[in-house]
Amino acid sequence: MKLSHLSETLIGSEIVKLGGEIKERIRKGDRIYNFTVGDFDPSIFPIPKELENEIVEAYRKHFTNYPAGEGNLDLREAISAYAKEFQGLDYDVNEILVSCGGRPLIYALYRAVCNHGDKIIYAVPSWNNNHYTHFVNGEHVVIEAKAEDNFMPTADDLAPHIKGAALLALCSPQNPTGTTFRKEQLQAICNMVLEENKSRGEGEKKLYVMYDQMYWQLTYGDIKHYDPVLLNPEMRPYTIYIDAVSKVFAATGVRVGWSFGPAPVLNKMKAILSHVGAWAPMPEQKGLAVYLKQTKAIQNYLTHFKVEVEERLRSIYKGFIQLKEEGFSVDAVSPEAAIYLTIKIDLTGKKTADGTVLQNQGDVTAYLLEYAKLAVVPFYAFGAPKSSPWYRLSVGTCKKEEIEEMLSKLKAALVQLH
């Protein structure tokens, strides 16, 4: 059966596929340390109690009709106040668009900005930009970010490709790496975007920046989050932010996301989503509108939540560095943000106990799952080369008491190789 060119050529999410396979093995009784999908175990990381109560109360008040297409006014007012208080960004309600999580907003942005054949620049590894570019038949301009730059793209990386581009997709803190832009890095990119836009003629489409900051409040230690508009207000007409409750409140299933940026762009995104119907549920919108005004409750939640996530990230990081110091072919990037740890497991070419050669990174991933019972997502699932030995490790479902056990099993699996 022949279908559309899009459906015939679209690749499903490798991350969701891998996560589903792992869950099925666990369901069948396999003991696996699952660090794959960027989700949370609610028994470990529940959503804020105050948010839960407000959502339940909204259902009891029978807020079960259609919400406003752009998001309810009371929620957009709350998001506006929240962004100003917590991040210092000042956006009016007509510059805010609400949807059922970040994905529809990203899709709508790509659709609103990009024509068939337009240059779309994104770094790898990164989350799903390759698929969204495919959706709009854009020209993939792929920048392979380097380990020495903590897998964040630099202005020097982007400069050769910026001329004539329609969209630059940026994310910080980055999914999958859990790393962030330094102030100077992002400032240099902003300067380059502004210079490019000034070079374009009257009526010519500008270069827009999608700034995915889904994890921006989850930074650790001395790491600070930077964004284009606060660094340079001239970026305001060209920057569209993507944000949500999904990660910062461990509320992946609550499905409320928002975008803020120039009203002309957001209005087109709204029009696109009006045909998709990707609205956040009315009760969740009503509950969140009340919760976002509870500054003290938010601060208390984040204080505890961040400590718990960071403790897991640093414990696993220390374990990997210890294995590295013992001579094993592993490494890790010091955790900076989000719920992810970037780890390196470079075992290609090594032989297993029965003499089988791990010929490629797929073999390595399978070996880790079979002998260490460790499930992590290879960077090639995020667009990196198939040969990349780097992985994303997500701690959203991690029990602290299992970390030492996991590291011990990993070491035992590494010892068997030669």
pLDDT tens, 369-396? 999 999 999 999 999 999 999 999 999 9
Average pLDDT over residues 46-52: 98
Distance, in Å, from the CA atom of 108 to the CA atom of 115, rounded to the nearest integer, reads: 13
Please report, rounded to a whole number, the percentage of residues in the chain having pLDDT higher than 90: 89
**Which 3 state secondary structure label does DSSP give 208?**
strand
Residue 346 and residue 389 in contact, taking contact as beta carbons nearer than 8 Å: yes
CATH fold label, 5-45+299-415? Aspartate Aminotransferase, domain 1 (3.90.1150)
For 309, the enclosing helix (H) or strand (E) is: helix 295-325
Distance, CA of 108 to CA of 215 (rounded, Å): 20
Asked whether residue 26 carries a pLDDT value surpassing 90, the answer given is no
The model's pLDDT over 291-340, given as tens digits with 9 standing for 90+, comes to 999 999 999 999 999 999 999 999 999 999 999 999 999 999 999 999 99
Per-domain residue ranges for the chain? 5-45+299-415, 49-294
Does 20 score more than 90 pLDDT? no
- 374-375 vs 167-171, strand pairing mode: unpaired
Question: What number is the average pLDDT over the span 2-25?
Answer: 81
Q: Check residue 179 and give its pLDDT.
A: 98
Residue 40's pLDDT band (cuts 50, 70, 90): very high
pLDDT reported for residue 402: 94
Q: 99-137: per-residue pLDDT in tens?
A: 999 999 999 999 999 999 999 999 999 999 999 999 999
Residue 76: what pLDDT?
Answer: 98
For residue 265, is pLDDT > 90?
yes
- Residue 31's pLDDT is 87
Examine the pLDDT at 267 and tell me if it is beyond 90. Answer: yes
- Rg of the chain over Cα atoms, rounded to whole angstroms, equals 22
- CA atoms of 268 and 281, how far apart (whole Å): 21
Instruction: Supply the pLDDT for residue 11.
Output: 79
pLDDT digits (tens, 9 = 90+) for 159-200: 999 999 999 999 999 999 999 999 999 999 999 999 999 999
Matching CATH topology for 5-45+299-415 and 49-294? no
Among the listed ranges 183-192, 225-234, 360-369, which one has the minimum average pLDDT value? 360-369
- For domain 49-294, give its CATH number from 3.30.300.180, 3.40.640.10, 3.40.50.300, 3.30.930.10: 3.40.640.10
| Mean pLDDT, the chain, whole residue set | 95
Element counts in the chain: helices (H) and strands (E): 14, 13
User: For the whole model, what pTM was predicted?
Assistant: 0.95
pLDDT tens string 284-296: 999 999 999 999 9
